[in-house]
Chain A
């Protein structure tokens, strides 16, 4: 049972470069989410997706692009990385949108933008 996996686990890049963080889940969950976690802010929602080809903005979407061509994959792209995007990025999935549906998190990607 692979669950939800993120790659890479660690990434160092330079300002202005494009970076794509990958997220893959094997549960066939409908909903997928991208969060970033920074000291002093906690986890903040970047984008989410209710199903393949359906995505929507979260709290902090600026500078990020997502796509969901297949249910199991939800990549997050930083089109032109900035130092302020240095963070730990977590992908999560849940079966449905109903209230009690638990979000399960991947192990995270630690991104440093120099």
Chain B
């Protein structure tokens, strides 16, 4: 089975930096995705990690440690529009049996204050 944990809610200040953590336990691992979801909208892709280390994309960075079952999403220079839910999702190893879809955590609701 799979278990993905992330904080339910976080609050940060405009212009600051925030780190959203995600821990996972999974049978078979083929990558970790981060999605952003604004209220009432579809999830949109932010980042993908399959090897250990940091992936940087503009104001957003994502880190993965496979040995620790741990990832984080780092958001810099926070803007009000970054208020959203951030979803951590794990992809099973292809051919490992079961669904080939993503297994999502419950999401972290990020509130940005002025």
**Does A14 touch B at the CB level, under 8 Å?**
no
Determine how close the nearest CB of chain A comes to the CB of B109; give it in whole angstroms: 11
B residues near A56, Cβ cutoff 8 Å? 99-100
**A42-B106, A45-B102 known; A98+B44 contact, CB < 8 A:** no
**Does A35 touch B at the CB level, under 8 Å?**
yes
**Does B15 touch A at the CB level, under 8 Å?**
no
Looking at chain A, what size class is its interface with the partner chain?
20 to 34
- Kindly name the residue among B41, B89, B99 whose own CB sees the greatest number of chain A CB atoms within 10 A: B99
**A43-B87, A90-B42, A99-B50 known; A58+B99 contact, CB < 8 A:** yes
Provide the bound-state CA to CA distance between A71 and B87, in Å: 28
The chain B residue sitting closest to A34, CB to CB, is B101
Interface residues of A in 40-64 (CB under 8 A from B): 40-45, 48, 50, 56-59
Provide the bound-state CA to CA distance between A106 and B101, in Å: 15
Interface residues of A in 44-100 (CB under 8 A from B): 44-45, 48, 50, 56-59, 90, 92, 97-100
Determine how close the nearest CB of chain B comes to the CB of A113; give it in whole angstroms: 19
**Contact across chains for A103 and B102 when beta carbons are under 8 A apart:** yes
B residues near A50, Cβ cutoff 8 Å? 100
**Contact across chains for A107 and B48 when beta carbons are under 8 A apart:** no
**Contact across chains for A90 and B43 when beta carbons are under 8 A apart:** yes
Determine how close the nearest CB of chain B comes to the CB of A23; give it in whole angstroms: 12
Contact code string B30-41 (vs A, CB < 8 Å = 1, else 0): 110100000001
Binding site for B on A (CB under 8 A): 31, 33, 35, 40-45, 48, 50, 56-59, 90, 92, 97-100, 102-108
A-B contact pairs, 5 of them (CB 8 A): A33-B101, A56-B99, A97-B94, A99-B30, A105-B44
